[in-house]
A and B are shown apart, each in its own frame.
Chain A
Amino acid sequence: MNQINLDTALLRAVELPGRYVGGEFNQTKKSWQDLAADGKRLLRFAFCFPDTYEIGMSNLALRILYDVVNREEGLLCERVFAPWLDMKATMEEKDIPLFSLENHYAAKDFDCVGFTLSYELAFSPTLALMKLAGIPLRTSERGDGDPIIIAGGPATYNIEPMADFLDLVLIGEGEESLPELLKLMRQMRVLGQAPREEFLIEASKLKGVYVPSLYDISYKDDGTIEAIRPKHGAVFPVKKRVIMDLDLVAYPIKTPVPNIRTVHDRAFLEVFRGCPRGCRFCQAGQIYRPVREKGANVLAGQMEAILEETGYDEVGMLSLSTSDYSQLQNLMDRVLPRASDRKVNVSLPSLRIDNFSLNLLEEISKTRKAGLTFAPEAGSQRLRDVINKGIDEDEILRGMGLAFRGGYRGAKLYFMLGLPTETDEDVLAISALCKKIMDVWAGLKAEGLKLKRPEITISTALFIPKPFTPFQWVGQSTMDELEHKVKVLRESLPGKSIRYNWHTPETSRWEAVLARGDRRLGRVLERALLEHDVYLTSWEEFFDLSIFQKLMDEEGLSMAFYANRERSIDEIFPWDILDPGPTKAFLRREYDKAKAGELTDPCGEFCSYCGVHSWDAPLCVRGKEARRAR
Chain B
Amino acid sequence: MWVSHLDRMRSMERALLRADFPLTYSKGFNPRPQMVFALPSSLGIRSESEYIDISLSEKGPAEHLFSRLEVQLPEGISLMGYRERDPENAKNLMGQVYEADYVFSNPGLSEKIEKLLVCPELIIEKMSKKRLKDEDIRPLILSSEVLDADRTRLRVLAGSRANLRPDTLLQALEKYLAYAEAQSVDVLREELWIKEREDGPLIRPMETND
Contacts and interface: CB of A to CB of B under 8 A. Distances in A.
B16 A311 contact: yes
Given A259-B74, A343-B25, A21 B14 contact: no
Contact of A17 (B13, B44, B167, B184): B44
A99 to B, nearest CB: 15
Interface string A284-320: 0000000000000000000000011111110000000
B30 to A, nearest CB: 8
Contacts of B72: 25, 311
A21 B183 CA distance: 18
Chain A CB within 10 Å — which of B2, B10, B18, B44 has the most? B2
B14 A9 contact: no
Interface string B12-33: 0111111000000100011100
A94 interface: no
Nearest to A14: B2
Chain B CB within 10 Å — which of A8, A17, A21 has the most? A8
A100 to B, nearest CB: 15
Contacts of B181: 9
Nearest to A313: B17
B43 interface: yes
Given A25-B72, A25-B74, A311 B7 contact: no
A257 B75 contact: no
Interface string A329-349: 000000000000011000000
Chain B CB within 10 Å — which of A9, A20, A310, A311 has the most? A311
A307 B13 CA distance: 13
B44 to A, nearest CB: 5
Contacts of B73: 25
Contacts of B90: none
B92 interface: no
Contacts of A27: 75
B140 to A, nearest CB: 21
A142 B167 CA distance: 45
B76 interface: yes
A12 B31 contact: no
Interface in A1-40: 7-9, 11-13, 17-18, 20-25, 27
B84 interface: no
B142 interface: no
Range class of the B interface residue count: 20 to 34
A362 to B, nearest CB: 15
B184 A9 contact: yes
B186 interface: yes
B11 interface: yes
Contacts of A7: 184
A261 interface: yes
Contacts of B74: 23-25, 257, 259
Interface string B60-75: 0000000000001111
Contacts of A342: 17
Contacts of A310: 14, 18
A309 B44 contact: no
A297 B158 CA distance: 52
Given A18-B3, A367-B29, A8 B11 contact: no
Nearest to B30: A368
B18 A311 contact: yes
Nearest to A307: B17
A309 B186 CA distance: 34
A260 interface: yes
Chain A CB within 10 Å — which of B4, B17, B30, B31 has the most? B17
Contacts of B29: 367-368
B106 to A, nearest CB: 9
Contacts of A313: 13-14, 17
A24 B75 contact: yes
A24 B30 CA distance: 25
B198 to A, nearest CB: 36
B151 to A, nearest CB: 15
A127 B149 CA distance: 48
A129 to B, nearest CB: 22
Contacts of B8: 259
Given A18-B2, A25-B14, A8 B31 contact: no
Contact of B14 (A13, A257, A367): A257
Given A8-B44, A9-B184, A343-B31, A311 B3 contact: no
Contacts of B18: 25, 308-311
Given A9-B181, A311-B16, 13 more contacts: A8-B185, A12-B183, A17-B43, A25-B15, A25-B18, A25-B75, A261-B7, A311-B13, A311-B15, A311-B72, A313-B14, A343-B25, A367-B29
11 contacts: A11-B2, A17-B2, A21-B2, A24-B74, A25-B15, A25-B75, A257-B14, A261-B6, A312-B17, A342-B17, A367-B29
Interface of B: 2-4, 6-8, 10-11, 13-18, 25, 29-31, 43-44, 72-76, 167, 181, 183-186
